[in-house]
């Protein structure tokens, strides 16, 4: 019996992001995997490139899946990301600053694997905390 969408999405964040187990991508993602976000990723190979950049830039990354809502084959979740910017995976020198930001994901899961995902993370907050973007004045 395939895993439920909620279990698959929670496993995705725990195994891949928190435990750093890249090999779990191939087990939890469908062969025709697509991820919408910045940028659009059309395969697990594309995802692995971005994944490696994030893991290299942000040490001690921990993503807490605070809440999930499941409807049929879809699971949406609210995430909280905590990490330290210690590597140059984003193409700039590390700042050693701690970052905390939120995100929302939705995944279409079939037969225990993510077929398609939609990601919306508050990278502006991360850039502000790293010091790449100035905080705007409060209106």
Going by the DSSP 8-state scheme, the letter that residue 22 receives in this structure is T
pLDDT at res. 137: 79
Domain encompassing residue 102: 5-130
| Nearest alpha-carbon partner for 17 in 45, 43, 52 | 52
d(CA 133, CA 121): 16
Q: Is 137 within the bounds of a domain?
A: no
The pLDDT of 33-40, averaged and rounded, is 93
Pairing status of strand 98-110 against strand 58-71: unpaired
Instruction: Please state whether 24 falls in left (phi above 0), alpha (psi between -120 and 50) or beta.
Output: alpha
pLDDT digits (tens, 9 = 90+) for 17-31: 999 999 999 999 999
pLDDT digits (tens, 9 = 90+) for 51-74: 999 999 999 999 999 999 999 999
* Ordered strands of the 98-110 beta sheet: 29-36, 113-121, 98-110, 74-85, 58-71
Q: Is 55 within the bounds of a domain?
A: yes
Provide the mean pLDDT of the chain.
Answer: 95
At residue 50 the predicted structure's pLDDT band, cuts being 50, 70 and 90, is: very high
pLDDT at res. 38: 77
**For the chain, what is the domain count?**
1
Residue 69's CATH number: 3.10.450.50
d(CA 79, CA 56): 20
Q: Is 108 within the bounds of a domain?
A: yes
Q: Is 72 within the bounds of a domain?
A: yes
At residue 89 the predicted structure's pLDDT band, cuts being 50, 70 and 90, is: very high
Share in percent of the chain as helix, strand, coil (round to 5): 30, 40, 30
Q: Is 139 within the bounds of a domain?
A: no
* pTM recorded for the entire structure: 0.93
At residue 1 the predicted structure's pLDDT band, cuts being 50, 70 and 90, is: confident
Q: Is 64 within the bounds of a domain?
A: yes
d(CA 13, CA 11): 6
List Cβ neighbours of 3 (8 Å cut-off, separation of 6 or more). 11, 109, 112
């Amino acid at each position: 019996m395939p895993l439920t969408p909620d279990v698959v999405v929670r496993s995705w964040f725990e195994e891949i992001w928190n435990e750093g187990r890249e090999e779990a991508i191939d087990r939890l993602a469908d062969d025709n995997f697509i991820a919408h976000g910045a940028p659009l990723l059309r395969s697990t190979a594309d995802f692995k490139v971005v994944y490696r950049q994030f893991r290299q830039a942000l040490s001690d990354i921990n993503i807490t899946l605070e809440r999930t809502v499941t409807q049929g084959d879809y699971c949406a979740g609210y995430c909280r990301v905590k990490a330290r910017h210690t590597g140059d995976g984003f193409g700039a020198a590390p700042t050693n600053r701690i970052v905390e930001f939120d995100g929302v994901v939705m995944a279409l899961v079939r037969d225990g694997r993510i077929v398609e995902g939609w990601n919306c993370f508050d990278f502006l907050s991360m850039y502000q905390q790293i010091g790449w973007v100035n905080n705007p004045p409060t209106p």
